Amino acid sequence: WPLGQLGLQEDPEGNLWFGMTYQAGLAKVNRKTMEFNIYPIPEEFNKPITQINMAAPQSSSADGKIWMQNNGFAAIHRMDVKTGKFEFFTPFKDSKEGENHNIYDVIPDKDNNAYFTDFYQMHIGRLDAKTGEVKVWPTPTKNSAPRRGQMDDQGRLWFGEYHGNRLGMFDTKTEKFQEWESPTPFAAPYDAVLDKAGYVWTGSMSSDRVLRLNTKTNELTEFQLPRSTNIRRVFVDNRQNPPALWIGNNHGASIIKLEVLE
């Protein structure tokens, strides 16, 4: 199987975690010692289609456990960092025959409950960290294909609706959605992140534009990039004022910093 990694995320101690894709495991980089720790998936879960992409250690300090999705099974794993024990959850095990699901991203809240996006369909789901109970909510836009997302400090999950051509938000407290349609057709929003100034950013894989939402006024602003840019993840630098946006050009071997002068 091809080598590689996906879903680089930081835990509360500053260590970096990522999924090893078809190598069927999870890896940690200790940023102080630069040592690697490898956590292979147990044999019973290591099938030819096993694909561990997205690691979610952001709230592991709550219970000492790391979430990850298994793209091959539309499943979610959880690993106890101290014991190395893995658990296996299948949120869509009762789906109708012929109904496909794809758990693309796993995003923990502050209590380390796991929220996830269903890329094949239109769902945001929640896996309770204490009980294992699963709840699933469909987005207002059908077949929206929610892809990547990030949780803000208010418990709101921001995500891109790849097929819905929208920026989405799910309030985990009220269990309500909001959506904002991209002004450019077929923009295919991929990821979304909120900055400290109250703006939400998302990028397009196809339109060479960055979209910004003013959460106070609901105003949408597009920024045309200077050359072809295939955007996946989006990152904000809140250390400067106003915050800056950083994105990678997936097919252009470059990194782009966007600063708004206003």
Contacts of 41 (CB under 8 A, 6+ apart): 24, 25, 26, 50, 52, 77, 86
pLDDT (0 to 100) of residue 188: 94
pLDDT of residue 169: 98
Instruction: State the pLDDT at residue 250.
Output: 85
User: What distance in Å separates the CA atoms of residue 34 and residue 91, rounded to the nearest whole number?
Assistant: 35
Residue ranges of the chain whose pLDDT lies below 50: none
Cα distance between residue 114 and residue 201, in whole Å? 22
Count of CB atoms situated within 10 Å of the CB of 163: 19
- Using an 8 Å Cβ cutoff, are 148 and 155 in contact? no
How high is the pLDDT of residue 231? 93
Burial annotation 195-233 (CB, 10 A radius, 16+ → b, else e) = beeebbbbbbbebbbbbbbebeeeeeeeeebeeebbbeb
Long-range contacts of range 175-181, CB-CB < 8 Å, 24 or more positions apart? 175/137, 177/124, 177/137, 177/139, 177/140, 179/139, 179/140, 179/141, 180/213, 180/218, 180/220
Q: What is the pTM of this model?
A: 0.95
Q: What digits encode the pLDDT tens for the residues 32-90?
A: 999 999 999 999 989 888 999 999 999 999 999 999 999 888 999 999 999 999 999 99
